[in-house]
Amino acid sequence: MNVSEFSLRSGLSAHTLRYYEKIGVLPPIQRNSSGHRAFTARDLEWINFVTRLKETGMPLEGILKYAALRLEGDGTLAERQRMLATHRDALKLKIEREQLHLQALDAKIRHYQALVGSA
C-alpha cells in the first residue's frame, strides 16, 4: 500500500510516518518500481503496536530501543519481553493512581450534588 493508504489505515500522518522511518521506529520501507514507499500488512501491524505503546505512555526513546531490538531478530526476544513487562507494570501503577483520582472526583461530585440538592 502507498503512504496515503497506509496513513489512512494507521491514523498517522504521512509526515509522522516519514519521521518514524527516518529515526528508525519504522524499518526502511521497501520501494516499488517507481521509487515510492510500499507498505505491507506487517508494517501496519507494527505501526499499530507502536501507536499502542505510545498511547500507553512508553517514551519515544523506549519505542526506539524496542524497534532496534526487533530488527536484531529473535536473539532479543527475552529483552523485548522484559521491556514490555516493565512497561506493563508501570502502566498498571498509573491506572491504579488514575482510579484513585477518579474516585476522589466522584466523591467531590457527590458532595456537590448533595449540597445543590439540599439548597
| Residue that wins the pLDDT comparison between 33 and 58 | 58
What pTM did the predictor assign? Answer: 0.84
Q: What is the dihedral of CA 81, 82, 88, 93, to 10 degrees?
A: 170
DSSP 104: H
Identify the CATH number of the domain defined by range 3-118.
Answer: 1.10.1660.10
Q: What is the pLDDT of residues 70-113, one digit of tens each?
A: 999 999 999 999 999 999 999 999 999 999 999 999 999 999 99
Q: What is the pLDDT of residues 1-50, one digit of tens each?
A: 899 999 999 999 999 999 999 999 998 878 888 878 889 999 999 999 99
Query: What pLDDT shows up at residue 11?
Result: 96
Measured CA to CA, the distance from residue 72 to residue 69 in angstroms comes to 5
DSSP 26: S
